[in-house]
Amino acid sequence: MKNNTLFYVLTILIFGAAMSFVLVQGKGLETDRVSRLAAHESAASTASTEPHFFSNLQRNLHHPLAVLIIQICSIMIAARIFGLLMTKIGQPSVVGEILAGIALGPSLLGLVLPEFSAFLFPEESLRRLHVLSQIGLVLFMFIIGMELNIGILKKKAQAAALISNASIMFPYFLGIVLAYFLYTPFAPPEIPFSAFALFLGISMSITAFPVLARILQERGQTHTAIGTIVITSAAANDIMGWCLLALVIAIVTAGGLMGAVGSIVLSIIYVLIMWFAVRPVLQRMAIKYDTPESINKTVVAVIFTVLMLSSYLTEIIGIHALFGAFFAGVIMPPRADFKRILSEKIEDISLVLLLPLFFVFTGLRTQIGLLNQAHLWGACLLIIGVAVLGKFAGSAVAARFVGQSWKDSLLIGALMNTRGLMELVVLNIGYDLGVISAEIFTMLVLMALATTFMTSPLIHLIEFLFKPKVEERGALKEGFNALLPFGSPQSGSRLLELACYLNLKNENDASVTAAHFSPSADVSMMEAEQHEKEAFRPIAQTAARLGVSLRKVFGVTDTVEREIVTAARENHYDIILVGSSRDIFTRDKTGGKVRGFVYQMESPVGIFIEGGFRKLDHAAVLFNSAEDKFLLKYGTRFLAADGKNRLALIDRTELRDAQQWAQAGPGSNMYWAGNRQENKQDFYKQFDIVIVSFYFWKSLKRGQQAWLKTMPSVLVINK
């Protein structure tokens, strides 16, 4: 106790001494400081009369971190808005993001609001923006490398090899010929013709593998014959294109072909080390760490280290860091789960935050105002024409040569003509190296935008010109055919069970098509494949258990409603079964989506509102008028599915039409259950499902009938 008291006393004495020293010495120091600052403040007051708060605010507004944050916010908002607008008109979101970059650059914002443009993108901030956008590109190219499954090159290898080579060599040759005419008026003065021509050839022959893959996903053609050929050709095209680009960069940076020999040799050594030394280590790691729980921070750190070191090596070799990032993705283990988990960890930050910075940085470099004379626009149109001729015609003719139909050949040409983001990457590399001038850079950016934008309209035009005849489109019309668009995986399984209760399983000529559209156009190819597997797994298992042959339709889109309508119109369907977990006549998202496409369907639509059931052996058909007699054909199909099933007919009218229909019906399993049975408490609980017409159900729900709460599962069918 005495020791504690002594300790407290000493602490108080020391603290008091320190405070006395501060007070005594501080007065003298403050006096000197005030006298020294007085002159400075008087001078400053003559230079500026602004309040101290506003001067600080202005200084903070121009702080590098504040500028970078507001730039990122503006870029993300503009990219998402333009991307969504493009998806609404059937264009890839990347087209909107490119347009957002051009809109924020000197071509639009700088022209309309030059002062605001200078505030938002000051000259001194562009270097920071460039470095950050390059980091985003490194991550993105790593993902692209992972999506390039080398194994797919074995599928359709012969056809894909010829198409890929033609789609590289023909536009490359035309690009070199074009360079002969553009070199003198447009090439930078210090760049030799060889470098300019080789680079222009590369820019003509690039295909945007990511955009092409997403278009195929949205159209549900990833696993079709044409989809496999296009994906394989684009993969080989990317690999060859990046190798040629690495060669051109080595030549340009080394000053000639002989000077590039050292870079080429080092590049070969780099590839051999990555493939035969690093790749096996990563494969062993993937076997050990193959679940989300096991891929911890250490594993991710190792992967990022490999990525960054690979980018660093190719940068110092002289073939650009992006090639190293791309190749690091290529050597990742082929295990789909491992790649998918890595992609999920990287993709959001890369695609949403960092990659739009690259689009805007490209837009800031794109000065459409430079094309202020007719001959400049003529050169731009010439570049676009040569690019389309080389890529579209070269791919289409090669596809026709290997035995594809004219329709498929033209579709392959249209898809391979897509350039998108990959073209912008190549153009920025060339611009950084000084190989192309600002005018040529702007023309090539417009070419990339035009060739990407024309892909979807070209596909629609080709399909319209080669539209099959009515009898060809009705190939499924002979039997009873059902389309099952579903959202959640479990709902698809329940819809298939319901379809079997409509006797589809017992008909040899019946056909069941399950359709699932993932509501996000921004997912990667690996994510889309995983979505497809997870979505169709329950319904595929149910189909195997019930012995039903199932046709699958899958797509990735932001316009789910429109895709369902398109899928329904491709063939004649006797019924379209769709689930709805909520009231279809409310204004919520679920109800609105179902309500939105019901009115657009040419075939009858059955909306299944599940009330919980294990089996269906006792059903009821609820009639409101003689016009609802069409429901009988679905009731009789329910009876035919199993000889033990029972069907009750309930008529709300005074005419007792249902009684007459029941008496004329097949067997005693169909019976009349009276009319106005809703007045009896818990009457409907004896049934497993009630079949009712769409417009009758609509009137009941709007009337908010209390007895509807006692209803079991309901199948609402429109005529």
Q: Mean of the pLDDT values across residues 494-504?
A: 84
Q: Mean of the pLDDT values across residues 702-709?
A: 67
Q: Residue 158: pLDDT band by 50, 70, 90 thresholds?
A: low
Containing 258, the helix (H) or strand (E) segment is: none
What's the pLDDT score for residue 183? 93
Q: Residue 10: pLDDT band by 50, 70, 90 thresholds?
A: low
How many helices (H) and strands (E) are present in the chain, helices listed first? 31, 10
Q: Edge-to-edge, what's the strand order for the sheet holding 550-556?
A: 550-556, 511-518, 481-485, 575-579, 605-609, 713-717, 689-693, 618-623, 646-651, 670-672
* Mean pLDDT lowest among 264-273, 301-310, 345-354: 345-354
What's the pLDDT score for residue 475? 46
Of residues 28 and 658, the one with the higher pLDDT is 658
Residue range 611-719, CATH number: 3.40.50.80
The alpha carbon of 13 is separated from its chain's Cα centroid by a whole number of angstroms, namely 70
Q: Output Rg (C-alpha) for the chain, integer angstroms.
A: 34
Beta bridge partners of 648: 620, 671
Task: State the pairing for strand pair 713-717/605-609.
Answer: antiparallel
The arrangement of secondary structure in 70-464, i.e. its CATH architecture, is Up-down Bundle (1.20)
Token pair 């590098």: residue: 64
Q: Using the 8-state DSSP alphabet, how is residue 572 labeled? A: -
Q: How many Cβ atoms from other residues are within 10 Å of residue 559's Cβ?
A: 18
What's the pLDDT score for residue 4? 56
Of residues 81 and 215, the one with the higher pLDDT is 81
Nearest to 370 by CA among 64, 83, 106, 681: 106
Question: Does the pLDDT at position 46 exceed 50?
Answer: no
Encode pLDDT of 469-482 as tens digits.
544 444 444 567 88
What's the pLDDT score for residue 178? 94
* Mean pLDDT lowest among 88-102, 130-144, 376-390, 690-704: 690-704
What's the pLDDT score for residue 679? 59
Phi, psi of 201 (to 5 degrees): -60, -40
468-609, what's its fold? Rossmann fold (3.40.50)
Question: Does the pLDDT at position 613 exceed 60?
Answer: yes
Token pair 């993001």: residue: 97
Q: Mean of the pLDDT values across residues 364-381?
A: 91
Percent over 70 (pLDDT), the chain: 79
Encode pLDDT of 562-605 as tens digits.
778 888 887 778 889 988 755 555 544 434 566 667 777 878 88
3-state secondary structure string across 78-135: HHHHHHHHHHHCCCCHHHHHHHHHHHHCCCCHHHHCHHHHHHHCCHHHHHHHHHHHHH
Helical axes 297-317 vs 321-330, angle rounded to 10°: 140
Q: Mean of the pLDDT values across residues 387-397?
A: 93
Q: How many Cβ atoms from other residues are within 10 Å of residue 14's Cβ?
A: 10
What's the pLDDT score for residue 665? 63
Encode pLDDT of 452-498 as tens digits.
999 989 988 998 888 765 444 444 445 678 899 888 888 888 898 88
Delimit the CATH 3.40.50.80 region(s) of the chain. 611-719
Delimit the CATH 1.20.1530.20 region(s) of the chain. 70-464
Burial of 684 (0-12, 13-18, 19+ CB in 10 A): buried
What's the pLDDT score for residue 445? 93
Q: How many Cβ atoms from other residues are within 10 Å of residue 407's Cβ?
A: 15
Burial of 631 (0-12, 13-18, 19+ CB in 10 A): buried
Beta bridge partners of 690: 620, 714
Mean of per-residue pLDDT scores for the chain: 80
- pTM here is 0.72
Q: Mean of the pLDDT values across residues 333-349?
A: 78
Delimit the CATH 3.40.50.620 region(s) of the chain. 468-609
CA distance 716 to 719: 10
Q: Residue 707: pLDDT band by 50, 70, 90 thresholds?
A: low
Residues 6+ apart with CB under 8 A from 644: 617, 669
Task: State the pairing for strand pair 646-651/605-609.
Answer: unpaired
Of residues 252 and 415, the one with the higher pLDDT is 415
What's the pLDDT score for residue 655? 55
What's the pLDDT score for residue 417? 92
Note whether 351 and 521 are within 8 A (CB).
Answer: no
Q: Using the 8-state DSSP alphabet, how is residue 502 labeled? A: T
* Mean pLDDT lowest among 279-288, 536-545, 699-708: 699-708
Residues in the chain: 719
Q: Using the 8-state DSSP alphabet, how is residue 474 labeled? A: T
Beta bridge partners of 619: 647, 689
270-274, long-range: CB < 8 A, 24+ apart: 270/313, 270/314, 270/317, 270/324, 271/327, 274/310, 274/327, 274/328, 274/331
